[in-house]
Amino acid sequence: MGLSRREFIKRTAALTAASYVGMNLPLKEENRAQASDVDGWHRGVCRLCGTGCRVELGVKGGKAVALRGVTGSRTNMGYLCMKGMLFYRLMGHPERLTKPLYRASKKDSFKEISWDEALDIASREFARAVRKYGNDSVAYYGSGQALTEETYLFQKVMRAGLQTNNVEGNPRLCMASAVGGYITSFGADEPIGSYANIEKAKCFFIIGSNTAEAHPVLFRRIMRRKLDHKDEVKVINADPRVSPTSRIADMHLQFMPGTDLALLHSMAWVIIDEGLTDREFTEKYAVFRVGKDKKQVDFDTYKKFLDDYTPEKASRICGGNITPDKIRTVARWFAKSGGTVSLWTMGINQRKRGVWANNLIHNLHIITGQLCKPGADSLSLTGQPNACGGVREGGGLCHILPAHRLVKKDKLRHQVEDLWGVPRGRIPPKPGYHTMAMFTAVNQGKIKAMWVNCTSPAQSLPNCDLYNKGLAREDFFLVVTDIFPTRTTEYANLILPTAFHFEKTGVYGCTERRSQLTRKAVNAPGDAKPEVWIVREWAKRLSRDLNDPVIATTVKPFDGLEEDYELPEAIWNEYTQKLTRGRDNDLSGATYRVLSRMDDGVQWPAPTEEFALQGGTVIKFVKGYDPLATKHSKDENPYQFYGPAHPDRKLWVWLRPHKGPEEMPDSEYPFYLSTGRVIDHWHTSSMTGRIIELMRSNPYAYVEINPADAQRLGIKPGDMVEVESRRGSNLLPAKVYEGPVKGMVFVYWYDQAESRMINKVTKDAYDPGSKEPEFKICACRIRRVSGPRPLKPFLVQMKG
Amino acid sequence: MKRREFLKSLPFAAAALAALETGSLAGLVSSPVHTNLLRPPGAVPEGMFASRCIRCGRCVEVCPYRSIVPGDVLSAGFNAGTPLIKVTDVPCYLCMKCVEVCPTGTLRHIAQADTRMGLAVIDRYACMTWKENSMMLCRTCYNVCPFKEKAIKLDQLRPVIVNEYCTGCGICVHGCPVTLANGKKAVNVEPVYAFRVKPVESER
């Protein structure tokens, strides 16, 4: 069989294209053909972490066949990680949910029903709960992965329609402390700068973040910066565990878990002691505050307060490898670099004192003036693609309304009611249940019907066994919208199949205030529908069942619109043009028209289309760069801190005393337990677990143990080890290596297997300010159970 | 000969024929060890292996991960029944249980880090991080390596094998997301030590 010249050239081109795309090269003949001559590339944003990488989906014959990065994008410059490159496999995956499923009792098996029946049931059950037990007996629990349009519409129907503020989302479990930190320190939520600072930074302070695994593409930028300027750029990594991120660090500070507040204070002490503060900046822009009543104090009080945290004292508190010299060196690098970027994620946020830890990082930036300048920023990384955009800005938490408005403030609440065209008083003035309170209320039988969208609390809540008891109650009606079966669908009464990313249209907002549009490129499998359509149809039925015309008015502007583009666009327009206009996250310039034209997206504030087309605001609060800073300028200073939470227009330096974790190791439970992510999996692995390449490299979770501890306990690599706390236990294979500090064990939390779900073990104590649980630290004990055993990867499957 | 027996014997005949065709009887007696198909830890050189090993199957039995499988007649010929590890299926997790039970010393007592089942070799034309103009950030082999940072290092986020420390366990091969048409991965373990007269690692 000969190959014609034309055929040969075609195949060569195919191979080149395939290798560029990064497909599993030859795979099978038919796949190769697919990757080569795709019908078209469709722009969107990555479905996974919060970096916000711009991707293009290759579609052939109506099927997704490849993904590649967009080189012109300011977030990833074309780079993608493995997860980002492979998630197209989930479109058209055979295990996708394709039909609405219902069961009256949680003991029954699911039956396929039509959308009409499904929406009728959902509406009937919510209406019944509202009539019988009041408006606060229903709740919505959303996700930082839902599109902004979805979160916005859900909360609108819940608040103005069902008159309850029981609107929460999983960002409470990951971002709430960062929100609290930004608001209390800077007066406005979300980072001041952008990723662009990475290329200008002289010093990176990475604390409580394994950027290399959780945000690989961003880590590449940091690494590039470091390797290109080896002597000029310093990288400090502070983490009780040596992670792949530590590899590029000039200094790794390995402190005992929960002692970072002392470490941060001690760095501030050194900075002040050695006169490394930026006096002018501090005098002009900062005030010092203490306590619940935000009492203002002077600089000397702050200085005196820090005397408890001299490097000598702090190194004793911190333990690990911390010495006074190390603290001094790090503090000098931080202050003298001429541009320091701090990066952190869950190690700081998921803590009993998460807000305080956030404040203390901001303190360092304020006293050294490392803000609003090129290469200097205090940048909290997000874990989810739309935690910032959808939930923090879109009003997806119990205490906030869209565009950073507080529920408690009458004026702001009435503003929203007026903009929505519903009678005043429709939105209750009291914030609803925050996440942990919400699931406690489920346990107590106070919440009778709940809608869980695009997340799996049955696996992701701390101490999940306790809360799963509530989810299993027969008098509790649970609707779950998702694309795959999860641990949570096992407790559902009604499962509604939804369209996946690129199967619907909508906006994601990433870490750096950047909103990016993803347009529908392929059809959803079976009867799966976009959430916006589901909510609209559900709201109409609720209005009928509760005989309340106001519920129908919440979705009235969107009636009859086609759900793949027109409907999300109308919702986006209402949200941006009406709700965000004039607020600090002004997105009114970022229309779908503008967003479709951008290589990357738009960073708010972007009050006009013209400004949005330039990319929006790269750096907040700086006159000339931020249109709102120019507009709200009150004096001659170049920086205008107009954030709504600080009427004095100042940055606040907080005097927060050191506090340890809620649960400390003792003789009975002598180890610290911490959890985290591995590069190849994402969250509960319901998506990444179904991509065979990713599952193969990390088929199951394991427990990382320090060799010194392992030797003492007779644990060899691969041995089965029981990790037990006061709440539950896991049985995991051991990985013995110099990762976690002596006295600490570390477990990945993606595994869905009953015996390897580490959140059965973690603690559900939470930050009194942000209400974010302390996932990262609890006490546990470990015990060798047996030698190595062959283990199988596990994913929840649909039964029946 | 019964019909059933005749049919049963067919594959053997075919194997013998195939062997004859490829290189007379050499196919039947030559070592089955090749890329990604390895001997367990501590194995004596391939030249002696088949004559030392008594095919008792203890190593197969003790392996907790089912990594070790006995060679079958069809593919292993004279080596049938000797232990093999096909790392693309299940790699060796270096629990070192097999070396303890081997009654003949065919698998010698050896420390975990001294194991040399082969040497991982990265195919820089297939590896998606090494390919020219690649914008893919894959670090799977590095992440799964039991001697991370020793046996595999990263050079500007691209994996590099350190020959001195690689045990040839094949965990990287198993994890590698790239599969080529010939069944190989972008990183493969080559049994370079198996065919040397004297092994490189220190004998104990």
DSSP structure string for A130-169:
HHHH-GGGEEEEE-TTS-HHHHHHHHHIIIIIS----EEE
In a domain, B163, yes or no: yes
Range of the domain at B153: 31-190
Pick the CATH number of A101-174+386-395+448-577 from 3.60.21.10, 3.30.450.20, 3.40.50.740, 3.40.50.970: 3.40.50.740
In a domain, B203, yes or no: no
Could you give the angle at which helices A29-36 and A5-21 cross, rounded to 10 degrees? 80
Residue in B64, B142, B176 closest to A790 by CB: B64
In a domain, B53, yes or no: yes
- Answer yes or no: are the C-beta atoms of A143 and A455 closer than 8 Å: yes
Tell me the helices (H) and strands (E) count for chain B, helix number first.
8, 8
In this model, does residue B197 exceed pLDDT 70? no
Chain B positions touching chain A (beta carbons under 8 Å): 64-66, 93-95, 97, 112, 126, 128, 131, 133-140, 142-144, 146, 148-149, 154, 156-157, 174-181
Q: What is the largest CA-CA distance in chain B?
A: 66
pLDDT at A10: 53
What three-state secondary structure class fits A670? coil
Separation in Å, CA A356 to CA A181, A184, A775? 7, 9, 16
Partner B contacted by A787 (CB < 8 A): yes
Preferred mutation among A20, A23, A24 to probe B, highest tally of B CBs within 10 A: A24
Same domain, B117 and B37: yes
Residue B84 phi, psi (nearest 5) = -135, 155
Same domain, B81 and B172: yes
Same domain, B10 and B55: no
CATH homologous superfamily, domain A176-381: Dimethylsulfoxide Reductase, domain 2 (3.40.228.10)
In this model, does residue B21 exceed pLDDT 50? no
CA angle A177, A182, A186 (to 5 degrees): 155
Interchain contact, B143 vs A787, CB within 8 Å: no
Which residues in B lie closer than 8 A to residue A680 (C-beta atoms)? 140, 143
Residue in A69, A716, A718 closest to B135 by CB: A69
* Closest C-alpha among B126, B125, B115, B72 to residue B92: B115
Same domain, B4 and B86: no
Same domain, B95 and B144: yes
pLDDT at A27: 38
Interchain contact, A24 vs B131, CB within 8 Å: no
Q: Quote the number of domains for chain B.
A: 2
How many of the other CB atoms lie within 10 Å of CB of A132? 9
Separation in Å, CA A756 to CA A57, A412, A775? 34, 45, 16
CA B105 to CA A172: how far, in whole Å?
A: 59
Separation in Å, CA B63 to CA A233, B38, B85? 48, 15, 11
- Answer yes or no: are the C-beta atoms of A482 and A684 closer than 8 Å: no
Tokens 């034209």, residue located: A597
Report ipTM (2 d.p.): 0.73
In a domain, B168, yes or no: yes
Same domain, B12 and B85: no
Type and span of the H or E element at B121: strand B119-122
pLDDT at A20: 36
Q: Where are the domains of chain A?
A: 5-90, 101-174+386-395+448-577, 176-381, 671-786
Q: Does the bond joining A665 to the residue before it have cis omega, within 30 degrees of 0? A: no
State yes or no: is A383 an active-site residue.
Answer: yes
In a domain, B195, yes or no: no
DSSP string, A704-727: EE-HHHHHHHT--TT-EEEEE-SS
CA A777 to CA A672: how far, in whole Å?
A: 6
State yes or no: is A83 an active-site residue.
Answer: yes
pLDDT at A470: 95
- Answer yes or no: are the C-beta atoms of A500 and A90 closer than 8 Å: yes
In a domain, B198, yes or no: no
Separation in Å, CA A382 to CA A134, A215, A396, A646, A715? 35, 9, 15, 24, 36
Q: What is the largest CA-CA distance in chain A?
A: 87
A 704-743 near B (Cβ less than 8 A): 716-718, 737
Same domain, B167 and B92: yes
pLDDT at B75: 75
Compute, in degrees rounded to 10, the torsion defined by CA atoms A212, A47, A142, A778: -20
pLDDT at A33: 37
First to last CA, chain A: 48
Across all residues in chain B, what is the average pLDDT?
A: 83
CA A205 to CA A236: how far, in whole Å?
A: 5
Preferred mutation among A21, A25, A228 to probe B, highest tally of B CBs within 10 A: A25
In a domain, B99, yes or no: yes
Looking at chain A, the whole-number percentage of residues with pLDDT higher than 90 is 85
- Answer yes or no: are the C-beta atoms of A717 and A734 closer than 8 Å: yes
- Answer yes or no: are the C-beta atoms of A62 and A34 closer than 8 Å: no
CA B147 to CA B142: how far, in whole Å?
A: 9
A295-297 sheet: strands from edge to edge? A295-297, A286-290, A651-655
Q: Which amino acid is at A706?
A: N
Residue in A24, A78, A223 closest to B135 by CB: A78
Same domain, B44 and B141: yes
Interchain contact, A20 vs B65, CB within 8 Å: no
Residue in B131, B140, B179 closest to A24 by CB: B179
| CATH class entry, domain A671-786 | mainly beta
* Closest C-alpha among A191, A149, A188, A190 to residue A576: A149
CA A240 to CA A739: how far, in whole Å?
A: 8
Interchain contact, A679 vs B139, CB within 8 Å: yes
Cβ-based neighbours of A234, under 8 Å, separated by 6 or more: A202, A203, A204, A250, A251, A333, A337
The 10s digit of each residue's pLDDT in A102-147 is 999 999 999 999 999 999 999 999 999 999 999 999 999 999 999 9
Given A49, A53, A91, A175, which residue is catalytic? A175
In a domain, B7, yes or no: yes
Which residues in A lie closer than 8 A to residue B181 (C-beta atoms)? 25-27
Same domain, B9 and B86: no
CA A277 to CA A658: how far, in whole Å?
A: 22
Same domain, B93 and B39: yes
Given A384, A603, A640, A752, which residue is catalytic? A384
CATH homologous superfamily, domain A5-90: ADC-like domains (2.20.25.90)
Same domain, B37 and B22: no
Same domain, B44 and B93: yes
State yes or no: is A251 an active-site residue.
Answer: no
Rounded average pLDDT per 10-residue block, chain A, 800 residues = 52 41 36 61 93 93 91 90 91 94 94 96 96 95 95 95 94 93 93 94 95 92 92 95 90 94 96 94 94 92 95 94 95 94 95 95 95 93 92 93 93 94 94 95 96 95 95 95 95 96 94 94 95 95 94 93 94 94 91 92 92 93 92 90 91 94 95 93 93 88 94 92 96 91 95 94 94 95 92 85
Which residues in B lie closer than 8 A to residue A71 (C-beta atoms)? 135
